[in-house]
Amino acid sequence: MNRLFSWRNRWFAGSVGAVLGLALLAALAGFLWLPAAQGPRNAGWWEAICSAAGAVLPYRAQGAPDDSAVRPSNVIVGAQMMTPAGEAAIGRGATLAQNCSMCHGARGMSPAGTPHLAGQPAAASYKQLRDFKSHHRRSAIMEPLVENLSDEDMRDLAAYYAYLPRIPSQGMGGTPPRLVGNGDPLRNIGACAACHAASVAKPAVPQLDGLPATYLRAQLLAFANGTRRNDLQEQMRNAARQLHPDEVEELVTWYASR
Amino acid sequence: MFSADTRRIVLAHFWLAFAAFLVALLLGEWQMLVRSPLLGWIGNPELYYRSVTAHGSAMGYVFPTLVAMGFGYAIVELSLGQELRGKRWAWAGFGLVVLGTLMAMIPVAAGRASLLYTFYPPLIGPAAFYLGIVLVVVGSWVWVALMSVNLAAWRRAHPGGTVPLPMFANLAGAYLWAWTSLGAALEILLQILPVAFGWKSTIDAGLARVFFSWTLHAIVYFWLMPAYIAFYTLVPRAIGGRLYSDAMARLSFALFLVFSMPIGVHHLFQDPQVGAGVKFLHAVFTGMVSVPTMLTVFTITASVEIAGRLRGGRGAFGWLRRLPWHNPMMLAVAFSFILLGFGGAGGLINMSYQLDFAVHNTQWITGHFHLIFAGAIVIMYFALAYDLWPHLTGRALAEAKLMRWQLWLWFVGMIVTTFPWHAVGILGMPRRMAYFDYTHPELQPLAYSVILSTIGGLMLVLSGLLFVYILLRGHRAPTVPLPRFRFSEPAQPLGAVPLALNSHGLWIALMIGLTVVNYGYPIVQLALLPQTSVPAVPIGGPP
């Protein structure tokens, strides 16, 4: 054995050298070259190595892009994210909502192609307001309007709109498109209703029934081309990206008609 | 020499292996049938997953482990020419495997452990299932120790002698198994059992998957070892040729020892907890496994060519016609290589980080490992059983025609089963689905593929039944005087074998070193990361 484990033994030297050399080359490629070629442009070498190794670093270092470019949202979504709102909160929300009525309607039902807010789950409205404020969701109109709202203001607004009754549309409804109920497992598209059906009540998920077709279409396309990206797990982008234009129309028409 | 006691040990291992194989084979075909449009839906996915768990565990853990163990005990006596030491321990190891199989399979049969054979956390089943697997593994560790002890005894009796190739390869398989089974053992002992016993309610599923990948890939090479030993040490002799190169054979087994284990992260290409650089490192070393595989393909093809030329074959391809195609071993090695070729080509796609995205978790994967294991490897198990059987029973095994039928049925059946899986896998059909809704307009055109695979599965069942029938007939045949059992002779007289190819130390050291390099960081990093555990999901408990 002594003779085997010696650098004089060419089997030992050759095999250990070859395996180590290969490991070194593979590590250089995997930890330096590939991250440098594919990773974020501004990241330094150390960050590239850490990210290739799977180390969890703080998301932003000095000089890195701002939070909205790195994370989909800074809202922590959970079942208990909204405390039950009392009448006082709803009243404050109603006052603040004067600012919103120009587009979203006096009672949260919009005639202007903007989304109806009446009856939307409070968590859904609150998350969108927060995302506009932190620029995780971009809108030239909404971002300046929420600039000065406090967290309390946004919670109250959301509570007020959740309190308002939804006026059911006179739509036909009918048989839902297959994507709504089944999704398309072969393309890894989940069923829309798995989150958006009212009975599911997932936190921070908006109700789509009766929303204006123009708004629904614009959002699906924005998710598809990545201009909107405040969906936490990229669930909307992954689904919308794969939709055929006909399917987008089918979904928009059906949800708008409800 | 082949003592009566040892023959009983080998027969016990083989028969338990083949019994488990037959039951699992029937379950597999049932799974295809109930998923196909030929039969109405069974209505309860749990029944399907119960069957998949039993099929996978029996085929993956019980069957090949017992074949490797039984073959290993036979190799000790047949190649070293000394009586097996530690027969009581061998029986004890066998007893542990039997006990473990029963312990694991009872909760599975009762529908309380439908975890699939990968038992990925956070799914948690009853402790008996995991303890059963541990017992099977511990039983096989007894075998590893016995193989080592027997070789040490031989070395003491033959100082400076060259270890016969079958025993060298056998030990490579044993050491590989000892090291690679450690990953799943750590996962079960450190992570799963505390949860299964109810001491903890959360589990780090990502770390568990990393530990399991340690075992998951190299276990295939442990399954492969008996087949490769048969390639090198049985095939050339059985078809009247010579082994082209003894040194190439030793080098192949040594390289399998080094490269087959620290590459398992390619099973986690889609897992977020492992960094892309680590995945790349494992992909590179996965590619290195093609080196011993290609060495083997070259050496065995050259050995077969020697046989063809010794039988009077001429020209570039003329030797192919002169090969003894009526010989079951010849058929088996040809079929095995064809299936290995297709399976290996698919494997190159799985190991490519980018291409893997297209086939991840689809029927392609099922097709791939059935081609490699159930095809290329198991067909060699059949052949080695046929080859050893007369020496185990002392009776003639004169069913060459039935054997050819059996091998042909298995070969064609495996292709008919797995090729459609590959095709629909590319189209995105997911694996491990209990049910397909064939009324869906996009699934309806794929229905034919499931019917094809069901037909292929039926051929495999017929072949499996035929295999067991031939072996049973072998126990009733008239006794015959047998020549001494021989392994293949190398084409050139064995000269001085370098120390590195006559011992395993260097390769074991490289295997362990490479494991530390490739697995050290991901395991330590994940183990130290706070807040990575998720609530366990109990299986088989009250709903």
Q: Which residues does chain A have within 8 Å of residue B436's beta carbon, measured at their own beta carbons?
A: none
Q: Which position among B432, B438, B473, B485 bears the catalytic label?
A: B432
Spans in chain A with pLDDT lower than 70: 1-2, 39-43, 57-66, 69, 169-173
pLDDT of residue B283: 93
The total of other beta-carbon atoms located within 10 Å of residue A148's CB is: 8
Strands B534-535 vs B202-203: parallel, antiparallel or unpaired: antiparallel
The answer for residues whose C-beta is within 8 angstroms of residue B495's C-beta and 6 or more apart is: none
Is B355 within 8 Å of B405 (Cβ atoms)? no
Active site residue B221: yes
Q: In terms of CA atoms, which chain A residue is nearest residue B518?
A: A23
H/E run at residue B537: strand B537-538
> Which conformational region is residue A105 in: left (phi greater than 0), alpha (psi within -120 to 50 degrees), or beta?
left
Task: Give ∠ CA A42-A46-A47 in degrees, rounded to 5.
Answer: 50
How far A143 CA sits from the closest chain B CA (Å)? 33
Contact in structure between A85 and A154 (CB atoms under 8 Å):
no
Q: Which residues of chain B are under the pLDDT cut of 70?
A: 541-543
Secondary structure of B321-388 in HEC code, one letter for each residue: HCCCCCCHHHHHHHHHHHHHHHHHHHHHHHCCHHHHHHHCCEHHHHHHHHHHHHHHHHHHHHHHHHHH
Q: Which amino acid is at A113?
A: G
* Sign of CA pseudo-dihedral A30, A31, A36, A42: positive
Q: Where are the beta strands (DSSP E) in chain A?
A: none
C-alpha triplet A95, A98, A100: angle, nearest 5° = 125
Q: What angle do CA A34, A38, A39 make, to 5 degrees?
A: 105
Six token digits for residue B522: 């991901």
Instruction: Look at chain A and count its residues.
Output: 258
| Residues B480, B484, B488: CA angle, nearest 5 degrees | 125
Spatial neighbors of A93 by CB under 8 A, at least 6 apart, are A85, A156, A157, A158, A159, A160, A161, A163
Taking 3-state DSSP, the helix, strand and coil percentages for chain B, each rounded to the nearest 5, stand at: 75, 5, 25
3-class DSSP assignment, residue B302: helix
Cβ of A30 within 8 Å of Cβ of B443? The answer is no
Residue A254 and residue A177 in contact, taking contact as beta carbons nearer than 8 Å: yes
A54 Cα to chain B: minimum distance (Å): 4
Judged by CB atoms closer than 8 Å, whether chains meet at B522 and A15 is answered as no
* Nearest CA distance, A13 vs chain B (angstrom): 10
CA dist., res. B504 & res. B493, Å (int):
22
Catalytic, B370? Answer yes
Whether A1 has its CB under 8 Å from any CB of chain B: the answer is: yes
DSSP readout, A171-213?
----SPPHHHHT-BGGGTBPPTHHHHSTTT--TTPPP-TT--H
Residue whose entry in the numeric block shows the structure tokens 């003491």: B156
Answer for the pair B36, B448: CB distance below 8 angstroms, yes or no: no
Q: Do residues A221 and A231 make contact, with C-beta atoms less than 8 angstroms apart?
A: no
Minimum distance, in Å, between the CA of residue A32 and any CA atom of chain B: 8
Task: Decide if the complex's ipTM is over 0.90.
Answer: no
Q: Is B488 exposed, middle or buried (0-12, 13-18, 19+ CB in 10 A)?
A: buried
pTM: 0.80
What is the chain A residue with the closest CA to B521? A53
Which residues sit opposite B534 in a β-bridge?
B203
Could you tell me which of B139, B153, B148 has the C-alpha nearest to residue B90? B139
Nearest chain A residue to B280 by CA distance is A30
Give me B46's structure tokens: 């749990």
Angle between helices B378-393 and B328-350 (to 10 degrees): 150
Name which of B170, B183, B274 is nearest B229 in CA terms.
B170
**CA angle B15-B16-B17, nearest 5°?**
90
Q: Give pLDDT, residue B41.
A: 82
Do B271 and B207 touch, CB atoms closer than 8 A?
A: no
DSSP of B390-445, one letter per residue?
Answer: HHHHSB----HHHHHHHHHHHHHHHHHHHHHHHHHHHTTPBSS-S---TTSTTTGG
Q: Is B369 a catalytic residue?
A: yes
Q: Is there a catalytic annotation at residue B357? A: no
pLDDT value of residue A184: 87
Residue in B280, B352, B363, B524 to test binding to A, most A beta-carbons within 10 Å: B280
Residues of A in contact with B499 (CB under 8 A): 3-4, 9, 11
pLDDT of residue A2: 55
Using an 8 Å CB-CB cutoff, list chain B residues near A23.
281, 285, 514, 517-518
CB contact under 8 A, B284 and A26: yes
CB within 8 Å: A186 and B427 = yes
Residue A40 has a pLDDT of 59
pLDDT in tens, A115-174: 999 999 999 999 999 999 999 999 999 999 999 999 999 999 999 999 999 877 666 667
For position A186, what pLDDT does the model report? Answer: 77
3-state secondary structure string across B82-99: CCCCCHHHHHHHHHHHHH
- The set of residues, in sequence order, having a beta carbon less than 8 Å from that of A14 and lying 6+ positions away, is none
Q: Cα(B253)–Cα(A123) distance, rounded to whole angstroms?
A: 61
State yes or no: cis peptide before B122, omega within 30 of 0.
yes
Chain A nearest-CA residue for B428: A186
Give me the pLDDT at residue A172, please. 62
